[in-house]
Amino acid sequence: MLDEKSIIYIVSDSIGETAEQVARAAAAQYGGIVSEIRRIPYVSEKQTIKEIISEAKAHNSIIVYTMVIPELKEYLENEAKDQGIIYVDIMGPVIDAISHITKAKPIYTPGIIRQLDEEYFKKVEAIEFAVKYDDGKDPRGIKKADVIILGVSRTSKTPLSMYLANKNLKVANIPLVPEVEPPKEIFDISSKKIFGLTSSPNKLNAIRQERLKALGLSFEANYANMDRILQELDYSEKIMKRIGCPVIDVTHKAIEETASIILRIMKGEN
């Protein structure tokens, strides 16, 4: 039975936060009778475990642990048993249960959930970046971006930006319009970060007509005029040549295909 001098040792081959939360929740049921909770994170050697067991034996202690590396987990259990110390495995039973129902083997990687959380927050940050710097809203994003997408209207800049953001890339996209000088920032950064998108005039004409239809506007609008489209494409080609960036024809490409090309180029692949 735990008394006022009782200590709970939290042992983990990762940060040990999960085990500590469980231990504190359990200890709270005893009205403060547990005097201390000691967390020992990132345990990677048997000698460390041996020292913890020796210290725990000198007190009225239990060991609560989240060890996923089988060799260290087994060593801790054997040492605790030999010294008559109560030990509680927080994750083991759940891991075993999942293995039983899935017939799969765990990867035994300490701290994997924290790594997954970091990936998640990187993705969220990249998506927020893509929204903030979509359609040339703020040219300051150009120098902060991992990728800059250029192109005339309806070349799928925004959906491509969002797709790449889901790959944890910070993307800014800039519309190219003959009457508007592009941000000077695109000429100040490496052309390796910039990708131009182009499409066939007929495809753009069809897409823009559909856009006008959706907005309840006339097909006669300059936006879908073929001469206007040719003018825009000619202007965008000159800008892209001036920058010296790769140009991708998206006429018959899905977003995934275009993104794949960009990722391959960024990795230095052909």
Nearest to 63 by CA among 129, 143, 6, 113: 6
Q: Phi and psi of 5, rounded to 5°?
A: -105, 10
167 lies in the same domain as 242: yes
In whole angstroms, what is the distance from residue 126 CA to residue 120 CA?
A: 10
Q: Does some domain include residue 212?
A: yes
254 lies in the same domain as 131: yes
**Structure tokens that stand for 56 in this block:** 């725990």
Query: pLDDT by residue (tens digit) across 19-61?
Result: 999 999 998 888 878 778 999 999 999 999 999 999 999 888 9
Q: Does some domain include residue 14?
A: yes
Query: pLDDT by residue (tens digit) across 122-145?
Result: 888 999 999 999 999 999 999 999
Single residue among 57, 84, 110 that ends a domain in this structure:
110
In whole angstroms, what is the distance from residue 35 CA to residue 66 CA?
A: 21
pTM of the model: 0.64
Place of tokens 């970046």: 129
**Banded pLDDT at 2 (limits 50, 70, 90):** very low
93 lies in the same domain as 172: no
Amino acid letter, residue 154: R
Single residue among 67, 85, 110 that ends a domain in this structure:
110
18 lies in the same domain as 145: no
In whole angstroms, what is the distance from residue 148 CA to residue 38 CA?
A: 49
Single residue among 89, 110, 131 that ends a domain in this structure:
110
At 270 the pLDDT is 56
* More confident of the two residues 249 and 211: 249
- Give the chain's radius of gyration (CA, Å): 29
Cβ atoms of 45 and 95 closer than 8 Å? no
Residues sharing a CB contact under 8 Å with residue 116, sequence separation 6 or more, in sequence order: none
130 lies in the same domain as 262: yes
Q: Is residue 158 part of an annotated ligand binding site?
A: yes
Q: Is residue 154 part of an annotated ligand binding site?
A: yes
Helix (H, G, I), strand (E, B) or coil at 75: helix
Domain at 147, CATH number: 3.40.50
Q: Does some domain include residue 214?
A: yes
Residue 12 pLDDT exceeds 70 = yes
125 lies in the same domain as 15: no
Containing structural domain, residue 226: 118-266
Q: Does some domain include residue 1?
A: no
At 5 the pLDDT is 65
Q: Is residue 153 part of an annotated ligand binding site?
A: yes
Q: Is residue 161 part of an annotated ligand binding site?
A: no
